């Protein structure tokens, strides 16, 4: 292997690695299915899944778009709520002490269990999907923003207070900027959770979305379509995660100056 | 002349109870004077800083700054610590402008008179040898450069009182002596009262007009020494016998404070 730093893989190798591993994964799968003659009813080979994806490309695209839309709506709600709650928790010991146990308990509830309640309240449709996405994803944002605020260095706080800065000044000038890396870091986790939330809700209580498509495919025992939907979910998941990662890198470059993981 | 900073019989315990960090402290520093506080680690030097700037309030005794009893953060002070505490998301220049975004009347003038303030910040940077470094982020500067920038930030709003808490503690000997001269010149060029906390007796004698020695916890003043070395002082003065005698005298006080603790 030719590399600039001895013992470390070169840039080109690092860039190629994800493709090599992904293609290799599907190749092994295909070969195993053929060699062991596994029934497509149990585990379809990637070629059968690709065929199903092509055959159902219209519905897959339509339902993916719907799921994406539900996810983004729930995620947007979670960002706004998470930021406000996080700032409140990080800025006030009282709010933190008072609400934290409740938040933790709420976060611990599996959100599948909440879907039936949402259906009773709002009926089958977009509301359960958006709300489940929201409920499942706001917690990491709250915790991260609050942590960023609560860990202001006491000396920086002293410098600010000695100048006569109010609590709001300190939050605006120091607390919020310093919690931004935590915030953007949490967005990567939150959007993936929101995505899980909307798919769960669609599976149980919707007429659209990948979740719903999978529910119907599974009722029809259409295993290749089921897997095609799974692949679509995976691809969409990678795309939204990557979008958040790029956003994070763009906005908080100052926080990523370590060379630790080269 | 009444003192600019006066602590009279001040006792302070963090959290309001338990063994006090400082007890029966009395110090007074005149306007424009350069005072230094030396003492063993943990004796309450930083606590005196916080009391004098209104970041902490004493359980007993009185703290008076600029003729007023301190009941809130004093707002006329600038502070610098051992750790430069610059904000990593702001450029060095924007870090310098931070106090102006807080302190009146600059706060309401900053937006419209930004150029004037930027020029002031650039002049300060130049004075401490950081010319042209304003656009760099603090983490792109060396430790010594960050400390210089931190000094500039403490001075940008032209405070009447400058509080320095071991600002050179983390620097090598050469950089430290360079910065002594920077501080000396900053003090000489503006009418500012300086209180410097330090472990380094040579630093205290070189810079200060008046030195307070503190005992181990609970901190109190065990000796006060005026330094009458003529100004402006050159680094050469640190090799004169007069200088070394004062250092020895202070060392004896500190050694005594440590053994009786
Ligand atoms: N925020 C705080 N809460 C509780 N106790 C504190 C706090 N800050 C300092 N103390 C205590 O007060 C005493 C004096 O602390 P201080 O920081 O003033 O010492 P110092 O003289 O500055 O020490 P050093 O030279 O090591 O910086 C110490 O014993 C310390 O344990
Ligand atoms: Mg200290």
Q: Can you give the pLDDT at residue A262? A: 47
User: From the CA of B165, how far away is ligand 2's center (Å)?
Assistant: 7
C-alpha to C-alpha distances, A74 to A67, A184, A244, B36, nearest whole angstrom: 11, 17, 15, 58
Mind listing the domains of chain A with CATH numbers? 56-253 (1.10.3720.10)
φ, ψ for residue B187 (rounded to 5)?
-65, -40
State the Cα–Cα distance between residues A216 and B221, nearest whole angstrom. Answer: 82
Nearest ligand (C-alpha, residue B42): 1
State the Cα–Cα distance between residues B202 and B248, nearest whole angstrom. Answer: 10
Number of domains comprising chain B: 2
Q: Can you give the pLDDT at residue A5? A: 63
Q: Can you give the pLDDT at residue A80? A: 95
Neighbours of B190 (CB within 10 A): 13
Nearest ligand (C-alpha, residue B41): 1
Computed over every residue of chain A, the mean pLDDT equals 87
Q: Can you give the pLDDT at residue B91? A: 92
B147-196 pLDDT, tens per residue? 889 988 998 888 889 999 998 887 888 888 888 988 898 898 888 999 99
* Percentage of chain A exceeding pLDDT 90: 28
State the Cα–Cα distance between residues B226 and B56, nearest whole angstrom. Answer: 28
When pLDDT is averaged across residues A199-227 and rounded to a whole number, the result is: 89
State the Cα–Cα distance between residues A135 and B258, nearest whole angstrom. Answer: 59
Choose among A209, A238, A237, A213: nearest CA to A226: A213
φ, ψ for residue A232 (rounded to 5)?
-60, -40
B95 and B196 both lie in a single domain? no
Residue A261 has pLDDT above 70, yes or no: no
Query: Looking at the complex, does the CB of residue A260 fall below 8 Å from at least one CB of chain B?
Result: no
B172 and B259 both lie in a single domain? yes
Question: Which tokens hold the place of B9?
Answer: 């019989």
Choose among B259, B211, B244: nearest CA to B29: B211
B68 and B164 both lie in a single domain? yes
Interface of B with A (CB under 8 A): 50, 53-55, 72-75, 77-79, 81, 83, 85, 87-89, 98-99, 101-104, 137, 139, 153, 157, 163
B69 and B166 both lie in a single domain? yes
B154 and B191 both lie in a single domain? no
B215 and B93 both lie in a single domain? no
B166 and B241 both lie in a single domain? yes
Closest Cα of chain B to A14: distance in Å?
28
Q: Can you give the pLDDT at residue B229? A: 87
Residue B143 Cβ < 6 Å to ligand 1: no
C-alpha to C-alpha distances, A168 to A152, B46, B50, B67, B211, nearest whole angstrom: 14, 26, 21, 29, 38
Domain residues for B131? 83-159
Angle between helices B114-127 and B143-155 (to 10 degrees): 130
Residue B218 Cβ < 6 Å to ligand 1: no
User: Would you call B107 exposed, middle or buried from its count of C-beta atoms within 10 A (0-12, 13-18, 19+)?
Assistant: middle
Q: Answer whether B86's CB lies under 8 Å from B98's CB.
A: no
Closest Cα of chain B to A161: distance in Å?
6
Closest Cα of chain A to B75: distance in Å?
5
State the Cα–Cα distance between residues B108 and B147, nearest whole angstrom. Answer: 28
Q: Can you give the pLDDT at residue A154? A: 87
Q: Can you give the pLDDT at residue A40? A: 81
Whichever domain contains B182, its CATH number is: 3.40.50.300
B177 and B48 both lie in a single domain? yes
User: From the CA of B49, how far away is ligand 2's center (Å)?
Assistant: 9
When pLDDT is averaged across residues A125-131 and rounded to a whole number, the result is: 89
ipTM reported for the complex, 2 dp: 0.82
What residues in B contact A162, CB-CB < 8 Å?
Answer: 53-55, 73-75, 77-79, 163
What averages of pLDDT result for each successive group of 10 residues across chain B (261 residues)? Answer: 86 85 90 91 88 90 88 86 88 92 85 87 86 88 89 89 88 85 88 91 92 86 88 88 92 79 55
Q: Can you give the pLDDT at residue A107? A: 85
The band of A58, judged by pLDDT with boundaries at 50, 70 and 90, is very high
Q: Answer whether B96's CB lies under 8 Å from B183's CB.
A: no
**Has this prediction a pTM greater than 0.80?**
no
Question: pLDDT: is B76 or A4 the higher one?
Answer: B76
């Amino acid at each position: 292997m030719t590399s600039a730093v001895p013992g470390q893989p070169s840039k080109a190798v690092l860039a190629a690695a994800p493709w090599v591993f992904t293609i290799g994964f599907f190749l092994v799968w295909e070969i195993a299915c053929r060699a062991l003659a596994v029934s497509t009813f149990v585990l379809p080979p990637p070629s059968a899944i690709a065929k199903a994806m092509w055959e159902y490309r219209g519905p897959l695209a339509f339902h993916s778009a719907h799921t994406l839309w539900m996810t983004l709506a729930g995620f947007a709600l979670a960002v706004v709520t998470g930021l406000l709650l996080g700032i409140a928790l990080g800025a006030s010991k009282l709010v933190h002490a008072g609400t934290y146990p409740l938040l933790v308990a709420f976060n611990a509830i599996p959100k599948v269990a909440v879907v039936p309640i949402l259906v009773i309240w709002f009926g089958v449709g977009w509301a359960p999907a958006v709300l489940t996405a929201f409920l499942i994803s706001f917690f990491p944002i709250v915790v991260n923003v609050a942590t960023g605020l609560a860990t202001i260095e006491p000396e920086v706080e002293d410098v600010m207070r000695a100048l006569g800065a109010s609590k709001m000044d300190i939050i605006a000038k120091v607390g919020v900027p310093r919690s931004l890396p935590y915030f953007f870091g949490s967005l990567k986790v939150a959007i993936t959770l929101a995505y899980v939330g909307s798919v769960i809700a669609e599976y149980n209580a919707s007429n659209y979305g990948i979740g719903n498509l999978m529910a119907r495919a599974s009722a029809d025992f259409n295993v290749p379509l089921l897997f095609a939907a799974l692949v679509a979910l995976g691809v969409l998941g990678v795309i939204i995660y990557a979008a958040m990662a790029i956003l994070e890198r763009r906005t908080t470059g100052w926080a990523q100056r370590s060379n630790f993981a080269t | 002349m009444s003192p600019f900073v006066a602590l009279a019989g001040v006792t302070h315990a963090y959290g309001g109870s338990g063994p006090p960090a400082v007890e029966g402290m009395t110090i007074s520093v005149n306007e424009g004077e350069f005072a230094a506080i030396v003492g063993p680690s943990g004796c309450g030097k930083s606590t005196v800083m916080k009391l004098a700037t209104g970041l902490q309030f004493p359980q007993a005794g009185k703290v008076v700054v600029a003729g007023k009893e301190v009941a809130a953060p004093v707002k006329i002070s600038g502070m610098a610590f051992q750790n430069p505490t610059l904000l990593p998301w702001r450029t060095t220049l924007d870090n310098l402008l931070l106090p102006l975004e807080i302190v009146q009347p600059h706060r309401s003038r900053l937006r419209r008179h930004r150029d004037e303030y930027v020029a002031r910040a650039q002049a300060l940077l130049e004075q401490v040898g950081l010319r042209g470094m304003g656009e760099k982020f603090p983490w792109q500067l060396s430790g010594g450069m960050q400390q210089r920038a931190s000094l500039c930030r403490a001075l940008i709003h032209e405070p009447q009182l400058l509080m320095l808490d071991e600002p050179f503690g983390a620097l090598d000997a050469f950089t430290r002596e360079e910065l002594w001269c920077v501080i000396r010149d900053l003090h000489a060029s503006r009418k500012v009262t300086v209180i410097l906390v330090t472990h380094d007796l040579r630093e205290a004698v070189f810079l200060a007009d008046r030195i307070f020695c503190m005992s181990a916890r609970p901190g109190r003043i065990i000796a006060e020494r005026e330094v009458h070395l003529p100004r402006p002082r050159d680094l050469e003065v640190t090799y004169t016998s007069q200088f070394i005698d004062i250092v020895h005298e202070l060392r004896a006080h500190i050694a005594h404070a440590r053994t009786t603790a």
